[in-house]
A and B are shown apart, each in its own frame.
Chain A
Amino acid sequence: MDTLLRIDVGAAKGPSVNKEPIGAYAGMGGRALTSAVVAKEVPPLCHALGPENKLVIAPGLLSGTAAGQSGRLSIGAKSPLTGGIKESNAGGQAAQVLARLGYACIVLEGKPRNDDLYTIVITKDGVKIEVDNSLKMLGNYDLIDKLRKVYGEKAAYISIGPAGEMKLTAASIACTDMELHPTRHAGRGGLGAVMGSKGVKVIILDDEGCKMREPKDPEKFKAANKVWIEGLKKHPVTGGGLPSFGTNVLTNIINEAGGFPVNNFSSGQFAGASKISGESQAALMTARGGQPTHGCHRGCVIQCSGIYNDAQGKYLSKQAEYETVWAHGANCGIDDLDTIQMLDRLDDDIGIDTIEMGVTIGIAMDAGLIKFGDKEGAINLLKEVGKGTPLGRIIGCGAGMTGKAFGVERVAVVKNQALPAYDPRAINGIGVTYATTPMGADHTAGYAIATNILKVGGFVDPLKPEGQIELSRNLQIATAAIDSTGMCLFIAFAVLDQPETFQALIDLLNAFYGLSLTGDDVTALGKSVLTSERNFNKAAGFTKEDDRLPMFFTRDPIAPHNQVFAVKDEELDKVFNW
Chain B
Amino acid sequence: MVIGGGPSRCAAGRSATIRLPPGDPAWGEALGLLQAGFLVSARIGLSARSFMRDILRFEDEYIEGAVSTVFIDSKPVDDIDAAVVVDGSLLALSAAMPGLVGAVMRRKSPYSSFRKAISYSSPLAGPKAEGRGEGLVRVKLFNSVMRDRGRDLLSRGILVAEAQARSLGAASGASSAVASGDEEGLVFLQVLEG
A interface residues, Cβ below 8 angstroms from B: 236-238, 240-242, 244-245, 247, 249-250, 252-254, 256-259, 269, 274, 277-280, 283-284, 286-287, 322, 422, 426-430, 433, 443, 446-448, 451-452, 460-463, 465-468, 471, 475, 490, 492-493, 496, 560-561, 563, 566
Contacts and interface: CB of A to CB of B under 8 A. Distances in A.
A279 B143 contact: yes
Interface in B104-118: 104-105, 108-118
A566 B109 CA distance: 21
A278 B146 CA distance: 12
A241 B74 contact: no
A5 to B, nearest CB: 34
30 contacts: A236-B66, A241-B96, A241-B98, A244-B143, A244-B144, A247-B98, A249-B97, A250-B101, A252-B140, A256-B92, A256-B94, A257-B74, A259-B101, A279-B31, A279-B32, A279-B143, A422-B101, A430-B100, A443-B99, A443-B100, A452-B110, A463-B108, A471-B110, A471-B111, A492-B100, A496-B103, A560-B74, A561-B74, A563-B117, A563-B118
Contact of B98 (A242, A259, A462, A475): A242
Contacts of A277: 35, 142
B51 interface: no
Candidate in B37, B71, B92, B100 with the most chain A CB atoms within 10 angstroms: B100
B25 interface: yes
Contacts of B135: none
Q: Which of A236, A286, A427, A566 has the most CB of B within 10 A?
A: A427
Contacts of A490: 98
Given A250-B98, A253-B105, A279-B35, A430 B143 contact: no
A236 to B, nearest CB: 5
Given A247-B98, A283-B28, A566 B117 contact: yes
Interface of B: 25, 28, 31-32, 35-37, 66, 68-69, 71, 74-76, 92, 94-105, 108-118, 140, 142-144, 146-147
Contacts of A427: 101, 104, 114-115, 118
Contact of A287 (B28, B111, B144): B28
Nearest to A287: B25
Nearest to A561: B118
Contacts of A237: 95-98, 102
Contact of A465 (B75, B76, B99, B113): B113
Nearest to A274: B36
B127 to A, nearest CB: 21
B115 A429 contact: yes
A448 B32 contact: no
B100 to A, nearest CB: 4
B71 A257 contact: yes
The interface residues of chain A, by DSSP majority, are classed as helix
Contacts of B96: 236-237, 241, 493
B115 A250 contact: no
B97 A426 contact: no
B28 A428 contact: no
Given A253-B94, A253-B102, A429-B111, 10 more contacts: A236-B68, A252-B143, A253-B97, A274-B32, A274-B37, A279-B32, A428-B115, A429-B114, A448-B103, A451-B110
B98 A283 contact: no
Contact of A279 (B74, B99, B108, B142): B142
A426 B117 contact: yes
Nearest to B29: A283
A250 B113 contact: no
Smallest CB-CB A-B distances: 5 pairs:
A429-B114, A283-B28, A465-B113, A448-B103, A274-B36
B100 A428 contact: no
